[in-house]
Amino acid sequence: MRPRALGPSDPERIGGYRLTGTLGEGGQGVVYLAEGPSGVRVAVKVLRDVDAESHRRFLREADTARRVAPFCTARVLDAGTADGRPYVVSEYIPGPSLAETVTSDGPRTGSGLQRLAVATLTALAAIHRAGVVHRDVKPANVILGPEGPVVIDFGIARDLGQGTTSTGLVGTPAYVSPELLAGHTPGTASDVFSWAATMVYAATGRTAFRGGNLTALLYAISTADPDLTGVPADLHPLLSASLAKDPTARPSATTLLRELTGDDTPLTTGPSLPATTLTPSPAPTGHPDPAAPPPHPGPAALPGPGPTARLTPSDRGHTTRFTESAPGPTAQFTGSAPGPTAQFTGSGPGPTAQFTESGPGRTSPVAPSGSGHTAPGPGPIAPVAPSGSAGTAPLDAATGPPASGAAPAVAGPRGPSARRRRLLWPAAAVVAAVLVTAVVLVVRPPWGTGPAAGKLLYADDFSERGNWDGYTFAPDAADDSRTTHGYEIDRGVYSIHADTTDPHGAAFSPVPPKGSATPERDVLIAVTARLKEGSASPGVLGLTCRWDEDVPHGYAFTLGLDGTARITRTTSGERLDVIPPAKLSPPAPGTDVRLQARCARSGTGVALTFWVDGSEALDAVDTEPPPETANSQVGLLTQVPEAGGGDLTVSFDDFTVHLPA
């Protein structure tokens, strides 16, 4: 890593360290080259602003990381706070990363590759013995220093959010284990998988799993055998075993190291971490995540380090089952590494994840107001009509005035659940990053059940600029510089503003893509929304599916600032309520609300379900769906009435698109 000069906005000192250059920068922090009081060069990672609980957790994990034995690792030397921002100081290792070296000089071979494998496994074994999970093993985090390979950047927060940690897929996930893609808590086995993927890259110059786009790559990691073509014969069975889909089937770092060095002396001492903790990670905002997996017991704990397993590869390359026990930290993930870049384009199958939670319900449907309903659709908004009368309502960002007409034939709503007060359960953001899945420790609240999810098609936590509409969110800028929907990278959200000058705010996900030859119509979409303080009613926020903005037609699932939940259908600009609206607790400014919507074929109709905070609000089958076209997009919306509306700003996070279960 070659340092670059400090910029005008960079500080000159952090704590007792004088900064001399910048080693790297990401959405959550900056790594500086610095000199300590004695003149020794060190690396100082400074995080962005974080909340008090995240700050305390970071310092605790930094203290834990300082206990890692300095075998082939960059030692953590110090940690503290400067100007309210936590920082950690580690040993500076000069030299290129493995990623840079393979890119410039080609794959590692012969004894150089063997030394690399032994050194990195020695580092992992030391990290795991200290009760730490690295969580971000990849070629960019292996430095080929003057005294040999060194593993850096372990066990410390890499993506502390501001009170809430986001969940999503970012960066290049070619080195992440299948269980992390499914939302499980990382363990030592996750590190072993990432180590093996890193070694495949080192030996061949290619990633072990490949795909033409992110979806194909995630699907390959979850289902396909690794491509080990070109891997030397002595490493082949070890890497094959380490890349097993089942984390309990992977050998530990210690077992791999002993196998490489030919040491078959039985292990008798030393604490260790679990190979993985197969329990679902709660959604960052305290709401159930439709992408999360079902409760799953972890591997059985063994007293002490347990028996030593020797590798006896089968025709598939792995039969070893070796697990380690003891609790370890939980983490959050982001980052980058060599491999296919996650551009979130394209469609197709992804990793399967199922998750359900039980608890009290939330909704109380409004009694039907007669046979005819005019609904909120892409267009102006009107309040819910009183019982017995028809009213107009809002929806997505398309155009056109509110329409009226008879409601389509509908299979009525399911029985109402008990209404309850919204609870705010603050998430304790946990520390560290591995590129793909964000995991947050929270007190699990009694949210409703929520839907099960099928294969993941797309996810975005908006921590990096992607392929959504808009640029930087700037609703207060003048004239052509004004942007009413766009990214707020510093907050890790995508925001949409609506007011009487621009009442119909909407944005569409890049997946499913517009104009696809075979658009994905059956989807389960979800997002976490937060209403900005000072936003004024009336107005709505929500999700869209099967949307064609060129007509316009499609479905919208909206929650009004007054608590009115609606499912509406737009056909050639005409909007109708598919089902009578339901009255819920109004969304509170500054408080997260989880919205989930399912659109799926049901005979000749379309089954539509809307969940708010995990509890079913509305459910219907539309027997007169809009005609199918080449476009079938999903997206977000924020709207106010053209007349009498106020300012409404909604920030969205943790957006996902799954196939229905």
Per-residue pLDDT reduced to its tens digit, 341-385: 333 333 333 333 322 333 333 333 333 333 333 333 333 333 333
Higher pLDDT, 275 or 488: 488
Residue with the larger pLDDT of the pair 146 and 277: 146
- Kindly report, residue by residue over 254-276, the tens digit of the pLDDT: 999 999 988 766 544 433 444 54
User: What one-letter code names the amino acid at 408?
Assistant: P
Query: CA 592 to CA 290: how far, in whole Å?
Result: 16
For residue 440, what are its two tokens? 């947050």
Q: 10 Å Cβ neighbour count for 83?
A: 10
Tell me the fold of 98-161+171-261. Answer: Transferase(Phosphotransferase); domain 1 (1.10.510)
CA dihedral 410, 414, 415, 416 (to 10 degrees): -90
Residue in 10, 63, 105, 136 annotated catalytic: 136
**165 pLDDT exceeds 50?**
no
Question: In terms of Cα–Cα distance, which of 623, 629, 627, 626 is closest to 607?
Answer: 623
Q: What does DSSP assign to residue 249? A: G
The answer, yes or no, to whether residue 246 has pLDDT greater than 50, is yes
Say what the pLDDT of residue 202 is. 96
Is pLDDT above 70 for 340? no
Give me the DSSP letters along 599-658: EEEETTEEEEEEEETTEEEEEEEESSPPPP-S--EEEEEEE--TTT---EEEEEEEEEEE
User: Which residues does residue 35 pair with via DSSP β-bridges, in sequence order?
Assistant: 18, 41
At 175, is the secondary structure helix, strand, or coil? coil
Write a three-state SS string for 525-541: EEEEEEECCCCCCCCEE
Residue closest to 563 by CA, chosen among 637, 613, 504:
613
Residue 544, strand partner residues: 556, 635
pLDDT score, position 221:
93
pLDDT band at 154 (very low <50, low <70, confident <90, very high): low
Average pLDDT over residues 567-592: 91
Question: 410 - beta bridge partners?
Answer: 622
Spatial CA neighbour of 549 closest among 633, 642, 472, 477: 633
What is the per-residue pLDDT across 444-467, written as a single tens digit (0 to 9) for each? Answer: 233 455 788 888 888 988 888 778
Work out the average pLDDT over 326-341. 34
Percent of the chain with pLDDT over 70: 67
pLDDT value at residue 172 = 53
For residue 127, the SS3 value is helix
Identity at 133, one-letter amino acid code? V
pTM: 0.45
Q: Choose from 58-67, 79-88, 198-207, 519-528 the range with maximum mean pLDDT.
A: 198-207
Arithmetic mean of pLDDT, 209-224: 84
Supply the mean pLDDT for the chain: 71
Q: Can you name the CATH fold of 13-91? A: Phosphorylase Kinase; domain 1 (3.30.200)
136 belongs to the catalytic site: yes
CA dist list (Å): 394 to 112, 574, 575: 64, 11, 8
Per-residue confidence at 596, pLDDT binned at 50, 70, 90? Answer: very high
Summarize pLDDT for 385-399 with one digit per residue, the tens. 333 333 334 333 333
Q: When comparing pLDDT for 610 and 38, which is higher? A: 610
Ordered by start, the domain boundaries in the chain are 13-91, 98-161+171-261, 453-660
Q: Which residue has the higher pLDDT, 406 or 7?
A: 7
> Is residue 206's pLDDT more than 80?
yes
Q: Which region among 73-87, 90-104, 129-143, 153-167 has the lowest average model confidence (pLDDT)? A: 153-167
Residue 135, pLDDT above cutoff 80: yes
| Second CATH level (architecture) for the domain 453-660 | Sandwich (2.60)
Our CA angle for 295, 300, 304, nearest 5°, is 140
* pLDDT value of position 315: 32
